[in-house]
Structure formats: C-alpha cells, structure tokens
Chains A and B, each alone.
Chain A
Amino acid sequence: ETGVTQTPRHLVMGMTNKKSLKCEQHLGHNAMYWYKQSAKKPLELMFVYNFKEQTENNSVPSRFSPECPNSSHLFLHLHTLQPEDSALYLCASSQLTGGHEQYFGPGTRLTVT
C-alpha cells in the first residue's frame, strides 16, 4: 500500500448506529487530518493531530469522536449521526517540517438514513 488509504470507501448507516472510519498513511508523516466535504459547501477541517496529539477541533459535534493511536493511523468514530452528516469524509497527512503539503486519501462516502 502506498500513500493514504481509507476504509470503508462507502458507508450507509442509520441514525442509531455506531461505526468507525479508518485512515492509514504510509508516507512516514507526523500530522493527520479529518475533513468533511458536503455538496455545495467548502472543504471543512474537522480535526488535526500532530504526533498523535489532537491540536485542533473545529467545533465538531461530539457525535464525531476521533482517535489517533499512532502517527500512521487515524480513526473517526461515529454515533447517533444526523442526515446532514452525510458527506465525503477525507483524511490527509503531512510532514510538520518543510512545506507542509497534505496528501489525501480517496475518502469515505457516508450516507446517514
């Protein structure tokens, strides 16, 4: 595997379900990010992790719970979601030194029914 991978690619869940999104980066980076991309809205940064420590939470509702067990893995735990949470969830990683360019995974298309 190379780059940034995300699983699952597609997820349909009811509002009472609990599910998790997984992201793994194979680039040796030390920062990871979760973004939400909804139709007709700008890309929204949700969480930032530097060296496994959360450094930013952009007022994300508590029904989204991130976890970063190490610098290569990032999870987004989902529970009691709302239909408006349906979106493409993108994970990215970067190196904190140098240019900070971010590399993105293919995303998880989430539909909440």
Chain B
Amino acid sequence: AQSVTQPDIHITVSEGASLELRCNYSYGATPYLFWYVQSPGQGLQLLLKYFSGDTLVQGIKGFEAEFKRSQSSFNLRKPSVHWSDAAEYFCAVGAYDSSYKLIFGSGTRLLVRP
C-alpha cells in the first residue's frame, strides 16, 4: 500500500539557518510527489511538486526538494529560514486505486528561533 513517512514531528531551527525536512514514500510506480505548507488555522498551500525529469525541483518561497528514487525520498530544503516559515509541512504522494488521491504524511511542525 502507498504510504508517506515524515519521521520528524517537530524541528526547531534558528532564523537564517538551513533547513531539511525528511520525507520517505512507498509507491510501486513512478510517483507524483508534493510538499504543502499549512499555517495555523489555514488550508494547505502547494510549495512544489515532482512529476518527472529533473530530480531537483524548485518551489515557491525559496524552497526546493530533491527526488531520490534509490532512497524513496523527497526531502524539502531551504538554505536560509525566515521567521515566517514557521508552519506545518506535509509531504504527499499521488496514488490511484478507485480514484486519484493524495496520500499525506503526518506532517512536520517547524519552529523558528529568533
């Protein structure tokens, strides 16, 4: 069965430091992969997506993610974190059985120290 694992429930980084959020997926075929961000009380905003081609994808707000098939990973990175990046981040894989759907990880909450 398809699944997504985000092993870190919380991550705290200092403002200006680099960030990497981990995501591992389980899917039999070539995956469609996504990262979303959610601020408190808000919906999810799409940060970036991977469908095919270049394994390093660029997204909004200075985020990037790298697809590594051999490791079944799609980690999210940002070289310098801003206080406004504090939010919850969700990794998702696209999957199809009775209908097309996204399988979400349980999320990683990012806290930013001043």
Contacts and interface: CB of A to CB of B under 8 A. Distances in A.
Interface residues of A, number: 26
Interface of A: 4, 6, 31, 33, 42-43, 45, 48, 50, 55-56, 88, 90, 92, 94, 96, 99-107, 109
B90 A43 contact: yes
Interface residues of B, number: 22
B32 A100 contact: yes
Interface of B: 32, 34, 36, 41-46, 49, 51, 90, 94, 98-102, 104-107
Interface SS of chain A: strand
Contacts of B98: 55-56
Given A99-B51, A100-B32, A45 B101 contact: yes
Given A43-B90, A90-B44, A99-B51, A48 B104 contact: no
